Amino acid sequence: MSTSTTLGDTRPEWAQRQERERRHRRAKSRLRLPLAVAAACQAVLLLWWAAGYPAFTGTAEGGGAPLYDAAVRVLHPAGATLAQTAAVAFALGHLVAALARFGVRGRWSGPVAVALAALPPTGSLVVSLSPEVPSAAGALLLTAAGLRLLARRAEGTLHRGGPAQRLDLAVLFSAIVLLALTGPRGAGTALIAALVLLPALPRARGRLALLTAAALAVPIVLALLGHPAARAGDLHPLRAADLALAQYRDPGGADREPAAVAPPAAWDAAGADCSSTAALTDRWDSAAAGRAQDELAAAWRQLLREHPDRVLDARLCRGRLAWSVWAGTGGPHAATEVPEASPSSHGLLRPLHSAADWSRTLLRAPQLDWLLWRGALWAYLGLAAALLYAWRHRLPALVPVAGAAVLGTQLSLTASAAGQDYRTMAVALFLGPLLLTLATVRTGRGAAA
């Protein structure tokens, strides 16, 4: 009987062949769950696509992400939303497969993923024209790739490399690129999440840092080639809203607001209703604001130097959606913003469209707002489940890896939120319920067991 010494393995050839066959069977078995979940989610999301055709909410322009707007023009709104269903279905299946590496059974995570595809807050979002959809898909893929790499670290195989690990790194790179191309907020989310992942995956830090730098450079390269994919966004409304709140909180301070942009009454009203920049931009002269952009920027920089606490106060007020389970009550813009169905959304079947619109309207009852439309609750529940798992299995690195994408989203929203649009916390609505399934894993069945 022949023997082999490859990689120090001195077992007989027949034993090595049996081991390869067992690994092949295990690999095929591991593929069944994500494929089944992705297929089921895709089937449900296709119903949403047919109900919301060509797009449930949104228009072909005005998403705030130039590359996304260009993709919508090229693919047509119906093609863009159809592509979004495939991306989210794949991301959900991939995340379920990653959770299975930690002992989460498909009978728990699979139905949760399908329910997320079916529920109106998440299902209707996937078939809407919004850069938050690819951003949420990217965040889900980033979390899944991070979890799979952490599972390899817990198994002691992270240093070995191999095709499967290269696939995980490729998914991570693609996720960061997807986030970066959705705009400055997505790029901020990707950068923060990557910085959180680095300490948790010590044997892959070099590769993670290199991939992150390369991914974040993609929109910059596109901008150098002539595409405005890396533009900084419109900072004037954010800064003007900061100034309005600062003046409202300290009426006796120096008057920094340009009177040409909006009348004093509009500045006062915007300061009293600090939850959204729309409280000011709905009342101001956009042409005058463009002409006064240098004056606004100078006034804002002076405010930041003298009273940084007031700038932080304004940002936290607008970023309430990222951290608070309940909506605010001060002003007409404090409630959670849920876009209405687009007038152009007629659906392929009128009864299906009517049923989708009716179910979405039904769940807009104010008593359900904290549960179904605000992501903060699910972010905290998912983090609590990760903490419980980490304590049970002595795997503290799970907490930062599982929460990296949500934390990046929350911090990015704190810095740049313009209002209380529920779509900006979509990643928590998807990720939180799936992370909650970690609580079903008993001691001894996880990746570190």
Give 18-55 pLDDT, tens digit per residue: 666 666 556 556 789 999 999 999 999 999 999 999 99
Give pLDDT, residue 4: 41
Give pLDDT, residue 259: 80
- pLDDT > 90: what percent of the chain? 69
Candidates 341, 342, 337, 339; CA nearest to 417 is 337
Kindly report which listed range (202-206, 305-309, 358-362, 407-411) carries the lowest average pLDDT score: 202-206
Between 426 and 264, the higher pLDDT residue:
426
448 has a pLDDT exceeding 90: no
Q: Convert the pLDDT of each residue in 161-172 to its tens digit.
A: 788 889 999 999
Q: Classify 12 as helix, strand or coil.
A: strand
Mean pLDDT throughout 221-245? 75
Enter the tokens of residue 211: 């991939």
Q: Annotate 34-69 with b (16+ C-beta within 10 A) or e (fewer).
A: beebbebbbebbbbbbebbbbbbbbebeebbbbbbb
Between 160 and 97, the higher pLDDT residue:
97
146 has a pLDDT exceeding 70: yes
Kindly report which listed range (58-67, 262-271, 347-356) carries the lowest average pLDDT score: 58-67
Kindly report which listed range (30-44, 103-117, 221-235) carries the lowest average pLDDT score: 221-235
Under a CB-based contact definition with an 8 Å cutoff, are residues 287 and 261 in contact?
no
Give pLDDT, residue 225: 73
Mean pLDDT throughout 133-147? 97
pTM: 0.91
Give pLDDT, residue 1: 38
Q: Annotate 162-185 with b (16+ C-beta within 10 A) or e (fewer).
A: eeebeebbebbbbbbbbbbbbbbb
157 has a pLDDT exceeding 90: no
Give pLDDT, residue 63: 56
Give pLDDT, residue 6: 42
Helix residue ranges per DSSP H, 184-335: 184-200, 205-224, 236-249, 264-272, 278-281, 286-291, 293-306, 308-318, 320-323
390 has a pLDDT exceeding 50: yes
Under a CB-based contact definition with an 8 Å cutoff, are residues 84 and 133 in contact?
yes
Report the C-alpha gap between 33 and 267 in whole angstroms.
55
Report the C-alpha gap between 97 and 373 in whole angstroms.
26
Q: Annotate 400-427 with b (16+ C-beta within 10 A) or e (fewer).
A: bbbbbbbbbbbbbbbebbbbbbbbbbbb
